[in-house]
Structure 1
Amino acid sequence: MFDESPPPQTRAPARTDTAYRVLARKYRPQTFSELIGQDAMVQTLGNAIRRGRLAHAFLMTGVRGVGKTSTARLIAKALNCVGPDGQGGPTIDPCGVCEPCKAIAEGRHIDVIEMDAASHTGVDDVREIIEAVRYAAVSARFKIYIIDEVHMLSKNAFNALLKTLEEPPAHVKFLFATTEVNKVPITVLSRCQRFDLRRISAEKLADHFAHVIEAEGVAAEPDALKLIAQAAEGSARDGLSILDQAIAHAELGGGGEGERALVTAGQVREMLGLSDRGAIRRLFGLILEGRGEDVLRAMADQHELGVEPLAILRGLMEIVHAVTMAKAGRRHDDPIQSAEEREALADWASQLGFAPLHRLWQLLLKGHEEVSRAVMPMEAAEMALLRIVHAASLPDPSDLARMLSQGGGFAGAASAPAAESAPAAPPAPASTMPASFEALVKRLWDGNHALVADEMEHLIRPVRYEPPELDFQPVRPMDRETIDRMKQAIDAVTQARWQLSAVGGDAQPSLAERKAAEEEAAKKAILETPVLKAAMEAFPDAELLPIDDDAKWSASA
């Protein structure tokens, strides 16, 4: 017997029994417990089903890929499930094994009609639904109409549907899904029970992708899954599509037969054209230091690695936003942030004031807009970064206003950076300095710096007052921007350069605390006098009140 089969190198590959299904379809949720990130909606539906309070129309809205159509199919299964024994009723946990459950999952149930409003937008399509709802369901408990992207129906189609939607037969349920709920007429919204499906958090998506990776027999670095979850922007479908691509990318990387493909963070970053977070932090540091040549070199290095200029600017904007939020006191635990990155953000937050951060944000926002519509994106990005570098060396608007008010003119304002780097001016004669902290605050009041004077009275506890130096303890946490504002006002009224330092050690009470203590002591002394004691005994409900700002007290019944 001769082997007539083709030689190994020409043998056709073995055919699989079933075609490959992409992950977004393969792992579509089949039960409400598999629907991630929508716990509030599931609880509401479960309570409604258990209490028999079922609406006749449901509207699911949310961004792409959060499970709107999947939720509609799950509701259809929940309402029509009969259980393994065929005797069950509506349930939030459909069995998945009865004929209605299997038919709905496979899209072949005669009483569950799906319609894509993007391709059936006219009134004639809606008229077919209106004619069909009069007839009872063939084999299911409810006849269900699922209309996807319902906002694309025409105005006439919506109007034709209104009456039926308001008073449908008891055996009919409408399930609508849309990504643009603002385009659905209010008359339709008022007739539906609305569910807003939330974006899925990056943490939940990464956990979900880890289960998918395990089920697919593939390995992945945790950071790679976090990158994919971030890129998905809250959409499970988008994330699974990216994961599908990442697995294919990893498999193309080679490996011996039988070895599991490994999805790495580097491969995902390269595949998505993402910038390296460490490189973006270094670029941000160079911008703050005003090193234009190094900024351009770092930009070119990222561009050679395939990172798009828009991605670089977006990465810089994310850093500025994160630093500003850290300075404002809001904790933002990004799953991708390393300990090193959190430390760098905290360091920048302690050094930068809100004004420079807002200015950086505006400059980056303008640069991002320019690059997005530029004919030469790389060149536009370089110009935008150079503009930020040079703007960083300019004085703040408040400094410019102070210089102009002091007669420095535009020449003085333009030379402000040079003046800051020049040696400090000699201190003013001691005879012109306020003799005490109280005198310093009074001079601020007299010099039309009422806001700073009030802050000094209420927020500063003096530790050491030796003009032109002031060591203090803040009454409550104080940022550098507030201290700088105080220093500028004191410099202006004393014509000297002061040094304000927040320190530890024993501190005197603030002027406001001192005044409150003196008023309390005066009040107590008055209450101890025999006349007041007798008056208070005669009139127990009387109280002692000040009659003017100098805390002269008067008894009032």
Structure 2
Amino acid sequence: MTDSSLGLDEPPQPKTAEAYRVLARKYRPQTFSQLIGQDAMVQTLGNAIRRDRLAHAFLLTGVRGVGKTSTARLIAKALNCVGPDGQGGPTIDPCGVCEPCRAIAEGRHIDVIEMDAASHTGVDDVREIIEASRYAAVSARYKIYIIDEVHMLSKSAFNALLKTLEEPPEHVKFLFATTEVNKVPITVLSRCQRFDLRRIPADLLAEHFAKVVTAEGVEAEPEALALVARAAEGSARDGLSILDQAIAHAGTDGGGVRADAVRAMLGLSDRNAIRDLFGLLLAGDAPAVLAALRGQYDLGVDPLSVLRMLLETVHGVTLVKVGAAPDPAHSAEEREALNEWASGLSFPLLHRLWQLLLRGHAEVGSAALPIEACEMALLRIVHAATLPDPGELARRLAEGSGPPVALSAGQGASSAPTSAPTVQEIAPPPPAESQQTPLPSDLSGLAEMLGHDGAHELEALVRNHLRPIRFAPPDLTISAARPLPADFVRDLSLKLKEITGQAWRIDTENAPGEPSLRERKQADAVAEREAVLASPLVKAALETFPGAELTGWTRQQNG
């Protein structure tokens, strides 16, 4: 009699669902070709393996999520791979199918020991490594120790490791990973081959995320992936975690991962709204600025996020103005807006906007009332935009073309209304008789002008020591390579303004400049003497009377 005839057979059991693996683990690189953004390191390792010039210890540094631990495991696979037929050697392209490759990928290889230094900081933990390293590998070509966050080891643990690290057994390799390389003793650094893993560019991350969502069968807008890549700040792991959350946030409505949903999830402001807000700031429309900010705040956007994106906008405009390559993450509409602003805004204004926004960001970050602090910061920018440029204002005031105008300390902004008069409107025209002497055409004329006015000491300094770099009265740039009296520039500019009736701008640069008037005359005298000596008559006389010299000849030294 069987169990089934008695009705004792077990009912069919449901299949156990496979545990979900987060994207950051599922798409961890298994080959060096899948390691994005680290081409220089991969090339160096490949050349070292092909030429059999393998270091005994590697130190991998970089910010979180750029692939330090993954790279360490890939190096372990590359060194211990035996190929599908079991006859292969170290290779930069491990097969991934041999037993060592599969065991290392699954974290179960007996000869590849991973240790977290954050939880094994003491000298006893290092002593265990030192003792075990004496014994040969059980089944692999190399016994490999991967120590993550190695900077967490204590000072005594580092000291205990030094001797073994410098002269390890031939069958042992050490792979260290750290996010804070400055905390690793220099004695350890000098014994390792160091690789600095760089932040992964946002465009490469976006391409990688596009492949991931395709493999996952999920639709995603390119702009949404660009937002995720920006939020990742160069970290593939952080980006995949955000993407995992975005896919879950999208749900099962079939709409896929949308940019607006990602912005809402991350608390980011809409970039179109930020561009509109930036334009209102430049226009000095205070009510509209406050309304736009409150609109973003009501949608749940953090004030710090608004200021941060305004800072990114100013930075983007500045990069466009200097001719930097366009950011691939920017949309065509955004690039058009940046180009338009770059053509219309000056560098001084962009730098002033940056400083004002940066100060506002710091204030909002520590304020008890963040949205109110953000409003005040933007109003400060609105009022600053209505005032003339500080450099232009200072130049005009120095020329005497207007009375002093009060500016608030630090920002060049005050509570002036948006219709504040410009410098040209408040400055009376200079009197026609203020110009007493025409501007000199060259340095010699400038020296003569000083001498005629009785400024003989300044005239002597100009003739003997001043080396011009740029002579364009009333602007003058002189060399600072030769020491000049401390008050020379100030005294000379004041005297020239007194003589000509115009303000002079005299700058100094650490460049050799042209020869001084005295050096020019000396060079001319030498050249003229050489020309006299080379003349046929003098040359014949000197040949006829050996030992004769040319005396009694001097070049007239007039200014």
TM normalised by structure 1 equals: 0.74
CA-to-partner distance for each residue in 1:347-392, whole Å, 9 max, x for gaps? 3223322222222211111111111122221111111111222222
| 1:170 alignment partner in structure 2 | 170
1:281 aligns with 2:275: yes
SS in 2 for 1:263: coil
Contact 2:402 2:426 in 1 (8 A): no
SS in 2 for 1:323: helix
Return closer, same or farther for 1:437/1:280 CA change in 2, 3 Å cut-off.
farther
SS in 2 for 1:195: strand
Cα distance between partner residues in 1 of 2:437 and 2:262:
64
More moved, 356-365 vs 190-199: 356-365
Return closer, same or farther for 1:85/1:549 CA change in 2, 3 Å cut-off.
farther
| 2:373 alignment partner in structure 1 | 380
CA-to-partner distance for each residue in 1:274-307, whole Å, 9 max, x for gaps? 1112211211121122221111111001111111
Paired residue type of 2:236: A
Return closer, same or farther for 1:17/1:451 CA change in 2, 3 Å cut-off.
farther
Contact 1:209 1:240 in 2 (8 A): yes
Return closer, same or farther for 1:429/1:23 CA change in 2, 3 Å cut-off.
same
Cα distance between partner residues in 2 of 1:218 and 1:94:
30
Shift of 1:495: 8.4
Shift of 1:453: 12
| Corresponding residue to 1:290 among 284, 309, 328 | 284
Contact 2:220 2:257 in 1 (8 A): yes
Shift of 1:132: 0.6
Return closer, same or farther for 1:453/1:127 CA change in 2, 3 Å cut-off.
closer
CA-to-partner distance for each residue in 1:423-457, whole Å, 9 max, x for gaps? 99679769979999979xx99x9999x99994747
| 1:341 alignment partner in structure 2 | 334
Residue ranges of structure 2 left out of the alignment (5+ in a row)? 1-12, 409-415, 459-465, 476-495, 504-513, 515-527, 541-554
| 2:421 alignment partner in structure 1 | 418
Return closer, same or farther for 1:381/1:31 CA change in 2, 3 Å cut-off.
same
The aligned length equals 467
Shift of 1:533: 10
More moved, 183-192 vs 47-56: 47-56
Return closer, same or farther for 1:136/1:278 CA change in 2, 3 Å cut-off.
same
* 1:105-504 equivalent positions in 2, closer than 5 A: 105-252=105-252, 254-255=253-254, 262-327=256-321, 329-398=322-391, 399-400=393-394, 402-403=396-397, 406=400, 410=404, 417-420=420-423, 422=425, 454=470, 456=472
Cα distance between partner residues in 1 of 2:85 and 2:265:
50
Paired residue type of 1:105: A
SS in 2 for 1:220: coil
Return closer, same or farther for 1:455/1:230 CA change in 2, 3 Å cut-off.
farther
Cα distance between partner residues in 2 of 1:388 and 1:169:
65
Cα distance between partner residues in 1 of 2:474 and 2:27:
61
Contact 1:404 1:413 in 2 (8 A): no
Larger radius of gyration: 2
Cα distance between partner residues in 2 of 1:397 and 1:204:
42
TM normalised by structure 2 equals: 0.74
SS in 2 for 1:45: helix
Cα distance between partner residues in 2 of 1:377 and 1:493:
54
Shift of 1:324: 2.3
Contact 2:117 2:147 in 1 (8 A): yes
Contact 1:393 1:417 in 2 (8 A): yes
Contact 2:267 2:302 in 1 (8 A): yes
Cα distance between partner residues in 2 of 1:323 and 1:207:
25
Paired residue type of 1:350: S
SS in 1 for 2:146: strand
Structure 1 stretches of at least 4 aligned residues deviating more than 4 Å after TM superposition: 13-16, 407-417, 423-439, 445-448, 450-459, 492-496, 531-535, 547-550
Residue ranges of structure 1 left out of the alignment (5+ in a row)? 1-12, 256-260, 460-488, 497-511, 513-525, 539-546, 553-557
SS in 2 for 1:21: coil
CA-to-partner distance for each residue in 1:451-498, whole Å, 9 max, x for gaps? 999474799xxxxxxxxxxxxxxxxxxxxxxxxxxxxx99x97789xx
Cα distance between partner residues in 2 of 1:59 and 1:17:
40
Contact 2:60 2:176 in 1 (8 A): yes
SS in 2 for 1:375: coil
Cα distance between partner residues in 2 of 1:98 and 1:458:
79
Overall identity of the aligned pairs, in %: 67
SS in 2 for 1:146: strand
CA-to-partner distance for each residue in 1:45-66, whole Å, 9 max, x for gaps? 1111111111111111111111
Cα distance between partner residues in 2 of 1:549 and 1:105:
87
SS in 1 for 2:264: helix
Contact 2:297 2:303 in 1 (8 A): yes
Paired residue type of 2:311: M
SS in 1 for 2:326: coil
| 1:46 alignment partner in structure 2 | 46
Contact 1:403 1:412 in 2 (8 A): no
Return closer, same or farther for 1:548/1:361 CA change in 2, 3 Å cut-off.
farther
Cα distance between partner residues in 1 of 2:27 and 2:140:
26
* 1:19-38 equivalent positions in 2, closer than 5 A: 19-38=19-38
RMSD: 4.1
Return closer, same or farther for 1:194/1:419 CA change in 2, 3 Å cut-off.
closer
Return closer, same or farther for 1:249/1:16 CA change in 2, 3 Å cut-off.
farther
Paired residue type of 2:58: F
Shift of 1:17: 3.4
CA-to-partner distance for each residue in 1:86-139, whole Å, 9 max, x for gaps? 111111111111111111110001111000011111111111111111111111
Return closer, same or farther for 1:351/1:26 CA change in 2, 3 Å cut-off.
same
More moved, 421-430 vs 264-273: 421-430
More moved, 365-374 vs 422-431: 422-431
Paired residue type of 1:176: F
Contact 1:400 1:413 in 2 (8 A): no
Paired residue type of 1:271: M
| 2:545 alignment partner in structure 1 | none
Contact 1:226 1:335 in 2 (8 A): no
Cα distance between partner residues in 2 of 1:413 and 1:219:
54
Contact 1:220 1:263 in 2 (8 A): yes
Cα distance between partner residues in 1 of 2:291 and 2:556:
68
Paired residue type of 1:109: H
